[in-house]
Structure 1
Amino acid sequence: MIGIFLITHGTLGESLIQCCCHVLNKRPVQIAQLGVSAQDDPLDVLPLARNMLGWVDGGEGVLVLTDIYGATPSNIAAKLVMPGRIELVAGVNLPMLLRVLTYRERDMPTLVKRAVSGACDGVLHVDAN
């Protein structure tokens, strides 16, 4: 099973995990989150992120999810990437995370594609008519 590690601004990652717990009626295994605040020095957070990555890596790799590409959490996460083993997808939202949790038994390339499609498919204009 591929591990899931969220690195986000503030408490967004934990909030997304809690929403998944509600939808799935249980807390998924091999999932962790690291919230980064404005006061955090990225160089101080990076060793913690590397350590936490090990918490969710069961041997099949880890998909790291972050909120905004180019922001501090994303920049920290980018330093963890090891192509094929530790992959990164930015733009995390609840549909993406639920899709990832559903397909994490598959291989990493499939999981990355499902993550992106889950995020995009979850964005809809709802017409009131």
Structure 2
Amino acid sequence: RLFDGPSPAIATVRVALHDRMVAHMPAMVTPSALSPRLTSGWLSKRLLDDAENPFPIELIQLCDDKLVRDEGFACEQDFAHLPEAEFTGEYLAQIGILRKGLHIRLRRLHQDLRREYLQSGVKRPRTN
């Protein structure tokens, strides 16, 4: 299969049929097709795993870019160690995450991870 087109989001897939004909079919657009690194980060995985309340891929990518790449939260444990008093809507807006729905989801995730890593007293392996 070969991708044709300017980007995977609007790509078509060439499929050989009966070793002679070639058909152009719409490609399945998946998060991994849109960005190979998107689903490999811990934050992207956490946001994608919330199937009941999905966010568009571009918003997940924004969160990953701002918090993991720019702010350096390379793993869940580092993120969990940020004090709750510092992880505010103002902080998120300051780093470029402006949508209130993202603020709510990220603050809830931060609280969950703080409970998981800090309040349980259990040492867990670092998740990258």
Answer yes or no: same fold by TM over 0.5: no
Of Structure 1 and Structure 2, the greater helix share is in 2
| Bigger Rg, structure 1 or 2 | 2
TM-score (norm 2): 0.27
